[in-house]
Structure 1
Amino acid sequence: MRCMMLIHHDEAALAKAPPSLWGDYAAFNEAIAKAGISFQPGNRLQPSSAASTVRVAGDKTAVLDGPYADTKEQLAGYFMIDVPDLDQAIAWAARCPSARHGSIEIRPLAPA
């Protein structure tokens, strides 16, 4: 089961996260690799203030600065894993350091 793990954080809280968070991520990536889980490390995203949202209605394109939704948590990054089932995806999401500072949304990839 290939899944994208979407990391959501409150950007203000993330800015105050301890520097050890990045060491925790290194340990998390190492644990996934040692477990033999096929994964693709993702990337952190720039703050939501750098986002642009595009919508097309008919022949008109509208561009909104910033994220579309005004929410407490913003999409902060992602990673991909390939595990046998949803239970294992949930277990790895729970081990992700960001689960302690925000939430991890598990989205299975649609069949090709």
Structure 2
Amino acid sequence: MTQYLISMYQPDGIVPPPEVLGPIMEKIGAFNEDLQAAGAWVFGNGLLDPSSATVLKRNGGEVLVTDGPYLEGKEHLGGFDIIESPDLDAALAWGKRLAEITGLPIEVRPFASRRD
């Protein structure tokens, strides 16, 4: 089994009102339950707003610490799931389902092979 990162990107700005976001979050909850029931779920969670990020960057002999996201953009990583899947097609099926639920861009990417 290969592990895949399923990333959800959401637009910067105002969070949708509860009457819009509530039903989507319920469907995401059911999606996560289905991942777990299928034995595919490894870990997942949503992320706070990009303004909560802290970036550490080496600069010569020092590591600089700055507030905010590393890159400014119109979208940000809003959440992710790490799954185990027999192949890319199965992982893409999970990603497609999440895209249908959220209407947001979803990225599916395999992890590099581990070298133990």
TM-score (norm 1): 0.84
Please state whether the residue corresponding to 1:62 is helix, strand or coil: strand
CA offsets, 1:76-110, max 9 Å, x none? 11111111111111111011158634222222111
Count of residues in correspondence between the two structures: 110
Please state whether the residue corresponding to 2:69 is helix, strand or coil: coil
Decide whether the 8 Å contact of 2:27 with 2:101 is kept in 1.
no
Taking only the aligned residue pairs, the percentage that are identical comes to 30
The yes-or-no answer on 1:2 pairing with 2:3 is yes
1:33, distance to aligned residue in structure 2 (A): 3.3
The yes-or-no answer on 1:26 pairing with 2:7 is no
- Counterpart amino acid of residue 46 in structure 1: L
CA offsets, 1:51-71, max 9 Å, x none? 111110221222221111111
Distance, in Å, in 2 between the alignment partners of 1:5 and 1:77 is 9
Equivalence for 2:97: 95
Please state whether the residue corresponding to 1:42 is helix, strand or coil: strand
Structure 2 portions without partners, runs of 5+: none
CA RMSD of aligned residues (A): 2.0
Decide whether the 8 Å contact of 2:28 with 2:98 is kept in 1.
yes
Partner residue of 1:69 out of 47, 50, 71: 71
Please state whether the residue corresponding to 1:19 is helix, strand or coil: helix
Structure 1 portions without partners, runs of 5+: none
Decide whether the 8 Å contact of 1:37 with 1:83 is kept in 2.
no
TM-score (norm 2): 0.81
- Counterpart amino acid of residue 40 in structure 2: S
